[in-house]
Amino acid sequence: MFRFRKHFHQYDLKELYNDTLLHHHIGGGGQTVDVPSKLHPGLGGIHNAEKSAGIWGNNQNMLNY
């Protein structure tokens, strides 16, 4: 968790200390990043933000760059 907070200062929040890290499939694809479990509640949350940003399901196009 410390390494996550080191790179993402906006999530250096006391309520996330000692939270379990889960791997999140970026855009539903094959690349993953560890995120605190409280920021990854399941089928909503981060996935809905990716869908709004046009990231969800678009990973193959990004791999071509």
Dist CA 18 CA 53 (whole Å): 29
Beta strands in 4-59 (DSSP E): 21-25, 32-36
State the pTM of this model.
0.65
Rounded average pLDDT over 8-18? 86
pLDDT of 62 reads 59
Helix (H) or strand (E) holding 47: helix 46-52
| Residue 58, CA distances (Å) to 6, 9, 22, 62, 64 in order | 28, 27, 21, 7, 11
Q: For residue range 25-60, list pLDDT tens digits in order.
A: 888 888 888 888 888 877 777 888 888 888 888 766
Domain span holding position 14: 2-63
Number of domains in the chain: 1
